[in-house]
Amino acid sequence: AIHAVKPFFGLGVNSAFEDIAELDRSLDSQTRRRALSQFSERRGKEAKAIVEVSRAFDRPGTLGFLSFVLPIILDSVFGR
């Protein structure tokens, strides 16, 4: 599976691990065609959500900068 996400916050790697686990479960007792269909059914909505979250960080200008940097700053201050 391929998810076009930014490298921030490890979204791509975590999603890839979840994809691998789900694909393995889907391939256990199915034909390849059915396994891939089942995999897409199970992971499709989450994959779409992850891509949408990633794209939300691409806002142009000051709003985009603040929507990306401000949560990082706040987390570093209050997340301790």
Q: What is the mean pLDDT of each run of 10 residues along the chain (80 residues)?
A: 60 83 88 91 88 74 77 82
Q: Please choose, from the candidates 6, 10, 1, 14, the residue with its C-alpha nearest in 3D space to the C-alpha of residue 52.
A: 6
How high is the pLDDT of residue 26? 92
Q: What pLDDT score was predicted for residue 51?
A: 79
CB 47 within 8 A of CB 3: yes
pLDDT at 23: 92
Gap between the Cα atoms of 36 and 55, Å rounded: 26
